[in-house]
Amino acid sequence: MSYFLITFANTHTAISTQKFLTGKINFCIMPTLRELSQSCGISIRINLTELDETQTLQEMAYPIIKLMDSQSVSSNLYQLYYIQDNQITPIPS
C-alpha cells in the first residue's frame, strides 16, 4: 500500500490542517510513526487512490504541498512523506 503522510511539529498545526483539508481531499488521521517523529503524535494520511500513480512522486505531492502553502503553514511546521511497502521517502516542500 502506498500513501502520503504529513507529520507536524505541534498539535495546533495538525488540528488546524485537519480542519483546513476537510472537504478538499479525502484523508484520515493516524498516530505519527515513531520512526518519523517524536514531536506531535497526530499525522494525516492521504491514500494514493486520491492521486494519479502514473505521475512522478513530486507531481503527486504537488497538490498536497499547494494546499499546505495556501493555508500558510510554514514548511518547518510539517513534513510530507511518501510511504510504500514500509519504505519511507521524505518529500521536500
C-alpha 82 chain-centroid distance: 8
pLDDT tens, 27-42? Answer: 999 999 888 877 888 9
For the chain, the straight-line distance linking the first and the last C-alpha, in angstroms and rounded, comes to 23
pLDDT tens, 45-84? Answer: 998 765 566 677 787 787 888 888 887 777 788 999 999 8
Spatial contact of 2 and 83, defined as CB atoms under 8 Å apart: yes
| Range(s) of the domain holding residue 60 | 2-91
CATH number of the structural domain spanning residue 28: 3.30.70
For 40, half-sphere exposure in the C-beta direction (CA atoms, 13 angstrom radius) is 18
The number of distinct structural domains making up the chain is: 1
Q: Who wins on pLDDT, 91 or 69?
A: 91
Handedness of CA 58, 24, 36, 75 (dihedral sign): positive
Interatomic CA distance for residues 85 and 93, integer angstroms: 22
